[in-house]
Structure 1
Amino acid sequence: MSDIKRWTILSLLEPGFVENIKECVVFGSAGCEALIHTKDDEVYGLGTNYCCWLGVPSSSFEPIKIDLLCGKRIRKFGYGSGPHLLALSEIGEVFAWGHNSFGQLGLGHNNQHCPTPVLVTGLLTGQKAIHIACGGHHSAALSDRGELFCWGLNSSGQLGIGSTINQDTPRQSNLHHRVIKDVACGHNFTLALTENGEVFAWGYNENGQVGCGNVSTQVSPVLVETLSISNTVISQIACGYAHSLALCDEGRLWVWGSNGCGQLGGNLMRKNLTEPVHTAKDIDRVVEVAATHLCNITVVANKKGKVFMWGNVRGQSITSPVETRFPCVDDAFACFASPAVTFRMTRFENPRQPSLIDAMRVALDDPSSSDIRIVVEGHVIYAHKAILKLRCPYFKSRLGELWSEGSGNQIEISDFSYNTVRAFMHWVYTDELVVDPDDAIGLLELATCYLETSLKVRCETFLRKGICVENAAALYAAGLQFDAPELEDSCYRFCIDHMAAVTQSENFRKLDALAMRHLICRAAKAGIFKK
């Protein structure tokens, strides 16, 4: 979660109002406009009010309630350059308002602006939208059936409908019957990600941002063939103003398009690229990638939670990744993007005084207050009987009448490594998962043995983010052994996409017969071995 103090536009809000904020987007040519969704399901706007999107004639740095969206359970906001604005509700309705000179609101007209939200109908009627995106002056909505609809400015073919005629109502993009799971918009181009990990692109292409090997504008979706030829399965996509990003399921980052500010990284001498290349090779496995159509900055997070950025960083052209000290990618946009805008719906840490969790962190391993020692592999962890009894059913039973072999003030654990037990104790005291990837399987096993369901779920999520060719087989076996179905399924899908490489890995050769038979039989049923 982001630190709200980093966002200038929100700095004048009353503390009581800030505590009620659930999520927010910051947008505008100077980062001086914002939409806020509160915990009690109300929507507010504030800022410079271009195109009268606030529903009042003047700017306001006091929040103004947008009544038509209150109670709609908004799940996502999108913004364009005008700005034009989209809101997606929990039930899949799309609302639009703001600048509309190119029909980007999808309301069937191109009146200059619309001051209040209106439901987008046309081809979206009867559809449940699950995702929305905005480019400079065009809009996109993705349905739960995997169908993509676009509307608005189409001078460069950014709607993907085979022409350059603007559209003031939603039109379905021609994606050759592919099922789409994500969409991202640059200023005047669009990317779509299929359920099979393919990337299609279309629109303005003078900087190579479509990734088709030339600089010709593409009015219909084209497959980014470099990614497909390399047998890369893409899991995330993002667009900057004129550059494109794709993250594969093994954590490699691919980039292409404009590089005038170094936004492609890799010390590429600011040369535009018409085809994807692998970049940021020295920052470990990437798990999150971020960009926005208003900026020329790229921000990523690696598997250790470290945040890196490059490109136009507050007016400086940075051509290789710079490590930040931010806990999340959102804060990098607040402090270094030009303009300082959000790339997604952003949640904030609530301002607070030192909490109970802070005190618990200090109490763990504090010999001055401890009344029991946990001994693992010769290492001592200083703990507190009362906390162990309250937080862990396993320790509660062992510290009670059943602890016949104990010495009263000392517990020896021999079933798990010190690192695993230390990570578990941190969880018991703080509900925080802090574990080295090499110890995560051990922690999953401990959570299973100790019946710690919440920890088990968190371990599954953590392990799923780190699946790669080298560990997919081992993690699949762990999912089977410790009854972790989501981990098992994620590893299975990865193995299907990379079967040749996985079966040649060291961990595959080390699989026990049961796990190997289970994986091969499941793959066979899916037809992976058919010619």
Structure 2
Amino acid sequence: MLKKCQLTYRNYMKPNIVMVDVGKWPIFTLLSPQEIASIRKACVFGTSANEAIYITHNDEVFVFGLNCSNCLGTGDNQSTIVPKKLEALCGKKINNLSYGSGPHVILSTEDGEVYAWGHNGYSQLGNGTTNQGITPIQVCTNLLIKRVIEVACGSHHSMALSSDGDVYAWGYNNCGQVGSGSTANQPTPRKVSNCLQTKMVVSIACGQTSSMAVIDNGEVYGWGYNGNGQLGLGNNGNQLTPCRVAALHGVCVLQGGRDCGLPLFSHFCCQDPRWPEHEDSLTVAESLKKEFDSPETSDLKFRVDGKYIHVHKAVLKIRCEHFRTMFQSYWNEDMKEVIEIDQFSYPVYRAFLEYLYTDSVDLPPEDAIGLLDLATSYCENRLKKLCQHIIKRGITVENAFSLLSAAVRYDAEDLEEFCFKFCVNHLTEVTQTAAFWQMDGPLLKEFIAKASKCGAFKN
């Protein structure tokens, strides 16, 4: 049984939400250095990440981009490469921001107000209509007396969390993602009660058609679409009301992540005194182990390059098909095992396990290549996309040929083509790097032949 512990809340970066380093997103190259320096919060959206909204340190709100989704909130469908100010939101001190692929945008302010705009075919804007919102409009019904501290978007539904721990949901409800007990769409915010009635919710998250909530004692509840078992309930039936994720019993969850089934746990990769220091063990801290009745039967040990990492079995089963299959086929969950990993390096495998906990990846491009190989082997398609984004954003003249070589080695065709075009476009510079001269003969010949066909060597 999980003992009540003091939770700490950190500003974890959700997918598409960028706090400081906006330079990694190509769309921000349209801004001047002064404009970039003024940004304190930003959201990149659109099918090709070609639209953006950002908030400055002075609490001014700007949007710019191609406006392919008609979701810039400027009152028209015109694209703009020059940032346009959303006057209605300036000075509102926006503290939370979310984007749904419908698409629609929802945000909350420090005063607890909620604003929304964008597509509204299923009333995901919460104003009781299905009319598109071309400018930001305050979500009033049932929320005016509440101070909202967090918002989240599914593809066509929305959620809000109030400071007193209540959850409100509205919009598309074909899979029960609104949590009302039916599949009828919800045109205005409705309090999610049922099992959450007496609970204090501290964090919320949305998948495309699923929803999740974290309680102040670390419990996790999920509802909505569950066709692939993403709610972690042990079945693949849709859930019309909140249901506790029993597999996480004994795990203290701090905060939810996007796409559902992505909790942040309080006990990953800490020093454990039971293992010798020279082995550089990374395991569950002894102090955190006191939270559990029987932690040893809940964890698995991975040994990679002589270093140890403890991972909770529930995380592996819920988040990774590769391990879920292994559990079902031949692993005895009561066995105390050390899983030897020899096909991947320690930084790569540690990053993979951390991804299962946080749904984020923090690796240099060179290591992300190895993680791409792992993701391919484990059929983790979302991780593969993350790795390729990291590699593409991190390409430089110095590492371009190394990344090209690795892309060829791991048969990543899209990445190979990207690296090849980069090398051709910067041919003079990259041919003067050490990586170019260290490339093996056959690959170098193939590159020269392909570049020649592209006209790279014409006078």
- The answer to whether the 8 A contact 1:301-1:307 is kept is no
Structure 1 residues 146 and 287: CA distance shift in structure 2, 3 A: farther
Most deviating of 214-223 and 9-18? 9-18
- Name which one, 1 or 2, has greater alpha-carbon Rg: 1
Match of 2:389 among 335, 341, 365: 335
Could you tell me which residue of structure 1 aligns to residue 50 of structure 2?
A: 32
Contact 1:152 1:169 in 2 (8 A): yes
How many residue pairs match? The answer is 310
1:13 aligns with 2:34: no
Contact conserved, 1:103 with 1:169, CA < 8 A, in 2?
yes
2:291 aligns to what? none
Give the alignment of 1:421-436 within 5 angstroms: none
In structure 1, distance between residues paired with 2:369 and 2:119: 31
Q: Does 1:42 align with 2:103?
A: no
Deviations 1:263-294 (A, max 9, x none): 73766569999xxx9x9996399888787xxx
The match for 2:253 is 234
Counterpart contact for 2:265–2:357, Cα < 8 Å: no
Q: Give 2:184's aligned residue.
A: 165
1:392-416 Cα offsets, whole Å, 9 max, x none, are: xxxxxxxxxxxxxxxxxxxxxxxxx
Match of 2:144 in 1: 125
TM-score by length of 1: 0.52
Shift of 1:177: 1.5
| Inter-CA distance 285–198: structure 2 relative to 1 (3 Å threshold) | farther
Distance 2:162 2:369 in 1: 33
CA-atom RMSD in angstroms? 4.1
- Structure 1 unaligned regions, length at least 5: 292-297, 325-331, 341-531
Is the contact between residue 106 and residue 169 of structure 1 (CA under 8 Å) also seen in structure 2?
yes
Contact (CA 8 Å) 1:211, 1:256: kept in 2 or not? no
Q: Which has the higher strand share?
A: 1
| Structure-2 separation of matches of 1:59 and 1:314 | 38
Counterpart of 1:247? 264
Q: Is 1:85 aligned with 2:105?
A: yes
- Which residue identity is paired with 1:204? Y
The reply on whether 1:208 has 2:229 as its aligned counterpart is yes
1:182-193 mapped onto 2 (5 Å cutoff): 182-193=203-214
Question: Could you tell me whether the CA contact under 8 Å between 1:75 and 1:88 is conserved in 2?
Answer: yes
In the alignment, the residues of structure 2 paired with residue 311 and residue 121 of structure 1 have an alpha-carbon distance, to the nearest angstrom, of 49
Instruction: State the alpha-carbon separation in 1 of the partners of residues 126 and 111 from structure 2.
Output: 19
Alignment CA distance shift 1:309-1:75 (3 Å)? farther
**Identity score, percent:** 34
| CA-CA distance at 1:299 after TM superposition | 1.8
* Structure 1 position 247, deviation (Å): 3.1
Question: Which range moved further: 8-17 or 147-156?
Answer: 8-17
- The one-letter code sitting in structure 2 at the alignment partner of 1:244 is G
Task: Deviation per CA, 1:315-339: give whole Å up to 9, x if none.
Answer: 9736399xx9xxxxxxx6893499x
Deviations 1:207-229 (A, max 9, x none): 0012111111111011111112x
Shift of 1:47: 1.7
Correspondence for 1:319: 378
Taking the aligned partners of 2:51 and 2:265, their CA distance within structure 1 comes to: 33
Partner of 1:98: 118
Q: Distance in 2 between matches of 1:118 and 1:272?
A: 49
Contact 1:45–1:64, Cα closer than 8 Å, also in 2:
yes
Residue 310 of structure 1: how far off its partner (Å): 11
- For 1:135 and 1:215, the matched residues in 2 are separated by 19
Q: Deviation of residue 85 (structure 1)?
A: 0.5
**TM-score, structure 2 normalization:** 0.59
Tell me the secondary structure at the aligned position of residue 16 of structure 1: helix
1:490-529 alignment, distance < 5 Å: none
**Following the alignment from structure 2 to structure 1, what is the Cα–Cα distance between the partners of residues 36 and 129?**
37
Q: Is the 8 A contact 2:226 2:237 kept in 1?
A: yes
- SS of 1:299's equivalent? coil
Measured at CA, do residues 206 and 309 of structure 1 come closer, stay the same or move farther in structure 2, by a change above 3 Å? Answer: farther
CA distance in 1, matches of 2:257, 2:372: 18
Aligned partners of 2:96 and 2:151 also within 8 Å: yes
C-alpha contact 2:52 2:64 (8 A) present in aligned 1: yes
Shift in Å, 1:178: 0.9
